[in-house]
Structure 1
């Protein structure tokens, strides 16, 4: 269904220092990183798509996080959700919803919400039973 998700950032090195460890904690493999461009992308398993890409906006203007726009990453376990959320906050992310069950979505939905250093809203969610 999706080819890629592109998230605009202002400071490539800061964004890379945030996304590399957070996505690695979820087992998401980095596919490319070109600091001279600057952009980086991570691939799904079994790749190569969809991709998750961070970069400065093509038009050169400042990125603006959208209200209601959120990227959600899949976690294999609830403990992985907890760990990714804690790691994101330790790397400068802002909490938008502590890890926990959200039965209003479905009985096994366990998610956590946070914003990256540029204000982009992210989620980590597991849909598995405890």
Structure 2
């Protein structure tokens, strides 16, 4: 259903330095880059949704919308959610909610929330995470 998502930046080089390691950890390729934007997805797969970061088309400054968020979903992989959250924070992202279960959204809903360097909100989620088994 989604072809691509784009978030704005006022500093593309800085944004790419933030997103490149996150996208690599997710197994995504950088598919496109010019002086205005960069995208990640699966090279050669035009059916896979792309994630773009770029300067606004109208030439104005990038602004953040209240209530706007991009969520990246993973199947049963809470450890990946943890790694992505830690990587985002390490690279200057802002904490919007540490990794953990969110039972109010459903059994097995595990998520972490961050802001990128321009203030765009991101979520890393899995819907069917299993609680760690204590020995």
After TM superposition, the score normalised by the length of structure 1 is 0.91
Q: Which residue in the other structure is 2:13 paired with?
A: 13
Q: Which residue in the other structure is 1:47 paired with?
A: 45
Q: How far apart are the structure 2 equivalents of 1:7 and 1:44?
A: 18
Contact 2:107-2:128 within 8 A present in 1 as well: no
1:1-130 equivalent positions in 2, closer than 5 A? 1-34=1-34, 37-43=35-41, 47-48=45-46, 49-76=48-75, 77-130=77-130
Q: How far apart are the structure 2 equivalents of 1:70 and 1:104?
A: 18
Show CA shifts across 1:7-34 (max 9, x none). 1101011000000001111112221222
Q: How far apart are the structure 2 equivalents of 1:120 and 1:89?
A: 14
Show CA shifts across 1:73-106 (max 9, x none). 1234101000000000010100000000011111
Following TM superposition, the consecutive aligned residue runs of length 4 or more in structure 1 with deviations greater than 2 angstroms are 44-49
Give the SS at the match of 1:18: helix
Q: How far apart are the structure 1 equivalents of 2:105 and 2:43?
A: 25
After TM superposition, the score normalised by the length of structure 2 is 0.88
Instruction: Let me know the Cα RMSD of the aligned residues.
Output: 1.6
Q: What is the number of equivalent residue pairs in this alignment?
A: 128
Show CA shifts across 1:51-78 (max 9, x none). 1111100111111111000000123410
Structure possessing the higher radius of gyration over alpha carbons: 2
